[in-house]
Chains A and B, each alone.
Chain A
Amino acid sequence: MAARYMRRLFALWCMYAWLDLMWVTRSFQSFVLYFCGETIVAIAALSSTLLLAERFNGLGPWSKPQLIFMLGYAALVFGLLDMFFGFNVLFIGRRLGRGQFDHTLVQPQPIWLALLTDGFNPFGASGPFLTGIILISWANSFLLLTPTLMWLFLFVLNVVSSVSVVLSVSFFWGSLAFFAPRAAEEINTPLLRMFDHLKLFPLDGLSAGMVSGLLTAVPVGFIAWYPCRALLGLDSAWHAPYLTPLAALGFGLLASKLFIQGMRHYERIGSQRYRAMGHRG
């Protein structure tokens, strides 16, 4: 069964990647626009913190190279989110609020498989991902990290966990659109904007209460700050590299619970709205 799903997953990813490639390469203008556009967006977003770091020679206990590493990590996380969960999968509130969930229901596959695959656009959304890789490499040229296999494993584990944290929190709040489609249609936008903005800043120096809040209720801290502290050795506690994965598990369970509840509600109520905006285009 697991092998069958893995094969389906791979086949679907290949198919969606092909659709994405066709879209991005439909004209030279389109190709340049999408690739450069996403890169510009990623760089512009990171620039604020980079410029501040240059102005103040680092921020708090973070040196410039460490900050660049953190920004690269953040870009990588959001790059992966854009690549795997595009077409409003990440902004699930929009899909639900606009009545587009029916398009998922008519597909003969589990909902989780549909949501894991039909937002896949590895070419059009590759800009931030590549920006992240470049920034991390650039940071490493100053930091001179010598990653062991274990460190690489922890790096990948934490990146995937950070992605899961954002996705889970987005799904948790977005599920409210099952119950209030119009009011919650755009609930993901301010949430993800908050994540996108605050992920760029190290949280050292904030009050303990605020940091706790930013690792629990609004887990911005797990997007880049906390995992990078662990990976760069700024937090030497033995459990530091494992806290983000643990958080991902917890948030994932919470999100699943509410999403499934929402689906049960949707089975009974359905959607009285339909708006094609953002659906497959």
Chain B
Amino acid sequence: MNGSDHNATAPWDIVVELKGVSKTFRQRQRSAHLKDVARNLFRPVIREVRALQNITLTIRRGEIVAYAGPNGAGKSTTVKMLSAMLAPDVGTVRVLGYDPVRQREAYVNRIGVVFGQRTELWWDHPVAASFEWKRVVWDIPTERYERMVGVVKELLGIGEFFNSLARELSLGQRMRADLALALLHEPEILFLDEPTLGLDVLAKRNVLQFVKDLNRQHRVTVMLTSHDMSDLEQLAERIVMIDKGRLAFDGDFDRLRREFADRRHLFIETTADRYPELTGARWIESVGCRHEYQFDATHVNLVTLLEQAATQTTILDVETHRAPIDDVIADIYEHWQK
């Protein structure tokens, strides 16, 4: 995959730039009662939803950026703006130097978009037919098209169901086919909105590996949203978190842990069933003489905990792990809700 057909831009330049972007939606609220029909119709209750508030964000070429946040935070709204479907109320959006909405036709030729909950496949046609459709509509030169079909067939393993009807594919197969479709025209940037939704462990791993290879070998910039934090941590160097429309964090996963909580799990094997009481650590469970605790390493020193344990029992073995990123994120979301 190469960008030789496109306008040349410097390798480390900024490819995505949002400046002071805000977006507000108005939602009609209505009750579920028949008696409220007239009121719902003539005097509706309108709720203003500030989907995005003053978002300023840049992404450089070749980055993989995880874009995360609780439900309703504004992730999909951001992706829609970057996909030329929506314009901001305030602020500017520039991707590869384009205004996505105003310069849509030329712009969408250089990006790929995959929505986990929607498909671009023709439902009642084989996958091959959807690929052919893409070739014609995107006006992809034959040589390039055939090369890319070979690439995606091999990397995403879609050869086995290439001639199957889209409606008969499993969710994992459909996602792979949608991803392959999005890549046929060799986009420079890929926007993936929940690309691993509903996929099993193996399918997820394959998709994520594919995205990593794509980025490494072809320098495709990737921005993806997902609720699966462990996937995001594997894939992305950078995580941008959004909460109630505002940017809450922008950095790497290590800094995320340090800033919000460096949660660790401590396992102590002792000579007794009874677990030692440790100030600064929360006991989770004991299995025989092996006791598990959780503590925040930014506030509590491991040595202090071990010293406390040593005064109460004989320690046979010690083990520490970082808390899974999902737990960290869940704590963050909970903290934001308060």
Q: CB within 8 Å of B: which residues of A?
A: 8, 11-12, 15, 18-19, 22-23, 102-103, 105-110, 267-270, 272, 274, 276, 279-281
Determine the distance from Cα of A156 to Cα of B105 in the docked complex, in whole angstroms: 33
Whether A106 contacts B136 in the complex (CB less than 8 A), given A22-B125, A267-B87, A269-B25, comes out as no
Determine the distance from Cα of A15 to Cα of B122 in the docked complex, in whole angstroms: 13
Q: Is the CB of B86 within 8 A of A270?
A: yes
**Cβ of B303 < 8 Å from any Cβ of A?**
no
Determine the distance from Cα of A208 to Cα of B338 in the docked complex, in whole angstroms: 70
- Chain B residues with CB under 8 Å of A15's CB are 132-133, 136-137
- Chain B residues with CB under 8 Å of A268's CB are 86-87, 89
A to B CB contacts below 8 Å, 21 in the list:
A8-B139, A11-B136, A18-B132, A22-B129, A23-B124, A103-B118, A105-B85, A106-B84, A108-B108, A108-B137, A108-B138, A108-B139, A109-B105, A267-B101, A268-B86, A268-B87, A270-B86, A272-B25, A272-B27, A276-B118, A280-B124
Q: Is the CB of B137 within 8 A of A280?
A: no
Q: Is the CB of B109 within 8 A of A108?
A: yes
- Chain A residues with CB under 8 Å of B106's CB are 108
- Chain B residues with CB under 8 Å of A280's CB are 121-124
Q: How far is the CB of A270 from chain B (nearest CB, A)?
A: 4
Q: Is the CB of A23 within 8 A of B85?
A: no
Nearest residue (CB) in B for A26 is B124
Whether A106 contacts B113 in the complex (CB less than 8 A), given A19-B122, A19-B125, comes out as yes
- Chain B residues with CB under 8 Å of A8's CB are 139
Question: 4 closest A-B pairs (Cβ-Cβ)?
Answer: A281-B123, A108-B109, A15-B136, A270-B86
Pick the contact of B105: A110, A279, A281 (CB < 8 A): A110
Determine the distance from Cα of A129 to Cα of B25 in the docked complex, in whole angstroms: 45
Q: Is the CB of B139 within 8 A of A105?
A: no
Other CB < 8 Å A-B pairs besides A106-B108, A268-B87, 18 of them? Answer: A19-B133, A23-B125, A103-B120, A106-B83, A106-B85, A108-B109, A108-B137, A108-B138, A268-B89, A270-B77, A272-B27, A274-B117, A276-B118, A279-B123, A280-B123, A281-B122, A281-B123, A281-B124
Determine the distance from Cα of A198 to Cα of B172 in the docked complex, in whole angstroms: 49
Determine the distance from Cα of A122 to Cα of B125 in the docked complex, in whole angstroms: 17
Determine the distance from Cα of A118 to Cα of B249 in the docked complex, in whole angstroms: 42
- Chain A residues with CB under 8 Å of B77's CB are 270
Q: Is the CB of A109 within 8 A of B89?
A: no
Q: Is the CB of B85 within 8 A of A270?
A: yes
**Cβ of B80 < 8 Å from any Cβ of A?**
yes
Q: How far is the CB of A125 from chain B (nearest CB, A)?
A: 15
**Cβ of B167 < 8 Å from any Cβ of A?**
yes
Determine the distance from Cα of A274 to Cα of B116 in the docked complex, in whole angstroms: 13
> Total interface residues on B, using CB and 8 Å?
34
Q: Is the CB of B85 within 8 A of A102?
A: yes
Q: How far is the CB of A7 from chain B (nearest CB, A)?
A: 10
Q: Is the CB of A109 within 8 A of B125?
A: no
- Chain B residues with CB under 8 Å of A11's CB are 136
- Chain B residues with CB under 8 Å of A279's CB are 123
Q: How far is the CB of A46 from chain B (nearest CB, A)?
A: 29
Q: How far is the CB of A271 from chain B (nearest CB, A)?
A: 8
Of A108, A109, A281, the most chain B CB neighbours within 10 A belong to A108
**Cβ of B274 < 8 Å from any Cβ of A?**
no
Q: How far is the CB of A232 from chain B (nearest CB, A)?
A: 42
Determine the distance from Cα of A22 to Cα of B121 in the docked complex, in whole angstroms: 15
**Cβ of B104 < 8 Å from any Cβ of A?**
yes
Considering the complex, which residues of chain B in the window 79-108 have a beta carbon less than 8 Å from any beta carbon of chain A?
80, 83-87, 89, 101, 104-106, 108
Determine the distance from Cα of A279 to Cα of B121 in the docked complex, in whole angstroms: 10
Q: How far is the CB of A3 from chain B (nearest CB, A)?
A: 15
- Chain B residues with CB under 8 Å of A276's CB are 118-119, 123
Q: How far is the CB of B289 from chain A (nearest CB, A)?
A: 55
- Chain A residues with CB under 8 Å of B167's CB are 281
Q: Is the CB of B118 within 8 A of A274?
A: yes
- Chain B residues with CB under 8 Å of A103's CB are 118, 120
- Chain A residues with CB under 8 Å of B89's CB are 268
Nearest residue (CB) in A for B86 is A270
Determine the distance from Cα of A249 to Cα of B105 in the docked complex, in whole angstroms: 27
Q: How far is the CB of A2 from chain B (nearest CB, A)?
A: 17
Q: How far is the CB of B76 from chain A (nearest CB, A)?
A: 10
- Chain B residues with CB under 8 Å of A107's CB are 108, 137-138
Determine the distance from Cα of A281 to Cα of B120 in the docked complex, in whole angstroms: 11
- Chain B residues with CB under 8 Å of A102's CB are 80, 83, 85, 118
- Chain B residues with CB under 8 Å of A109's CB are 105, 137
- Chain B residues with CB under 8 Å of A281's CB are 122-124, 167
Determine the distance from Cα of A274 to Cα of B117 in the docked complex, in whole angstroms: 9
Q: How far is the CB of B198 from chain A (nearest CB, A)?
A: 15
Nearest residue (CB) in B for A274 is B118
- The digit string for B233-268, where 1 denotes a CB below 8 A from any CB of A, is 000000000000000000000000000000000000
